[in-house]
Amino acid sequence: MKVMVFDVGGTEIKYSVMDEGLNRTDAGSVPTPQDTQEHFLDTLYALYAPHRDEVSSIAMALPGFVDTHTGFVSNGGALLYNTGTQVGQLVRERCGCPVTLENDGKAAALAELQAGALQGCCNAAVFIIGTGVGGGIIANGQLVRGIHFTAGEYSFVNTNADEWENTGKTMACQCSTTNLLQWYRARRGLPADAPMNGRQFFDAANAGEPEALEVLERFCKAVAVQIYNLTVLLDVEKVAIGGGISKQPLLLDSLRRVYAGLFASRGDSPYMIGLPRTEIVPCHFSSEANQVGALYACLHTVGRTD
């Protein structure tokens, strides 16, 4: 069985033909259309068409609140043109084959639970650091979607109750690669729109640039506090970090150190006694987790895997 798999992000669509053994062929990526849903559907069809005779269905991971039963997207996240539309049905009509959808963060969590860093966990979480902050929650060994399919949407978590109206005080704005780069531009006195990406930032940080290391420390504190909150709320055994910058050993090392420091900074406070400390690990599937999870969701739908 071969499936056409799409990982739709805010900036690019990654695609491949995958089989049940996770073997990938004809993998690549194209820019994600930013203008209209029609352009989006045309792009998907152009990628699917050369493989229509060899694949049995389409599996897709995409941003937003995704009803995995009906294919309805109530909030398109980074792709607002998908908001309030039957994306699954539209793709099915355009391509003429069965289509399964899954939220991108939940797809990553499913991949890590099935065959990655979270195998065997009772309670765990995936934390995807990218343009925003995606993720997924595992409870009692199962992926949690929620009745409205919004479980694990960390981007919407408010980080300061005293400034509720300030939309900058959210995880999307404080724990994302976007924000990391914004802080770095500001620290260096660069224009807000100065070209910058995660690789450039970590080149500077790995070279020991003081400004980059200062920003990284601040960023890791913001992320570590939210991992602490996840630990308190769900008693998670592991938190798997994903997204492009998760490949940087310096990020994981710094994040673990800062997370441990949260406990040390409160010293002998009796309120901290007995609180668990989670293990912070990289996603096993790294930037491919969304595609792998989308495939697993598809196989589960057709009854080919648990």
Tell me the pLDDT tens digit for each residue of 286-305: 888 999 999 999 998 865 44
**Domain 2-104+288-301 sits in CATH 3.30.420.40:** yes
> Which helix or strand (DSSP H or E) is residue 8 part of?
strand 2-8
CA dist 140 and 108 (Å) reads: 17
CA dist 56 and 299 (Å) reads: 11
CA dist 3 and 61 (Å) reads: 13
pLDDT band at 63 (very low <50, low <70, confident <90, very high): very high
Tell me the pLDDT tens digit for each residue of 100-143: 999 999 999 999 999 999 999 999 999 999 888 889 999 999 99
- Per-residue pLDDT, averaged over 169-181, amounts to 90
Six token digits for residue 7: 């990982």
Six token digits for residue 108: 């990553």
pLDDT, residue 303, reads 53
Q: Among 160-169, 180-189, 200-209, 231-240, where is mean pLDDT lowest? A: 160-169
pLDDT, residue 271, reads 78
With tokens 């068409």, the residue in question is 49
CA 276 to chain centre: 24
pLDDT band at 77 (very low <50, low <70, confident <90, very high): confident
Using DSSP's 3-state secondary structure scheme, residue 104 falls into helix
Neighbouring residues of 271: CB distance < 8 A, sequence distance ≥ 6:
none
Closest CA to 154 of 124, 125, 121, 178: 125
pLDDT, residue 300, reads 86
Tell me the pLDDT tens digit for each residue of 36-61: 999 999 999 999 999 999 999 999 99
pLDDT, residue 305, reads 41
Tell me the pLDDT tens digit for each residue of 252-273: 999 999 999 998 887 677 877 8
pLDDT, residue 304, reads 45
pLDDT, residue 275, reads 86
SS (H, E, C) 237-275: CEEEEECHHHHCHHHHHHHHHHHHHHHHCCCCCHHHCCC
Inter-residue contact 8 to 61 (CB < 8 Å): yes
What is the radius of gyration, based on Cα positions, of the chain?
20
DSSP state at residue 131: S
Domain boundaries, the chain: 2-104+288-301, 117-283
306: pLDDT strictly greater than 50: no
Task: Confirm whether 2-104+288-301 and 117-283 share one CATH topology.
Answer: yes
pLDDT, residue 167, reads 81
Pairing state between β 124-129 and 238-242: parallel
DSSP state at residue 175: S
pTM attached to this predicted model: 0.90
pLDDT, residue 11, reads 85
244: pLDDT strictly greater than 70: yes
What phi and psi, each to the nearest 5 degrees, are found at residue 133? -125, 110
pLDDT, residue 163, reads 85
Average pLDDT, rounded, for the chain? 93
Q: Where are the beta strands (DSSP E) in 122-232?
A: 124-129, 133-139, 142-144
CA dist 114 and 32 (Å) reads: 28
pLDDT band at 155 (very low <50, low <70, confident <90, very high): confident
CA dist 250 and 256 (Å) reads: 10
CATH code, residues 117-283: 3.30.420.40
CA dist 48 and 40 (Å) reads: 13
pLDDT, residue 278, reads 96
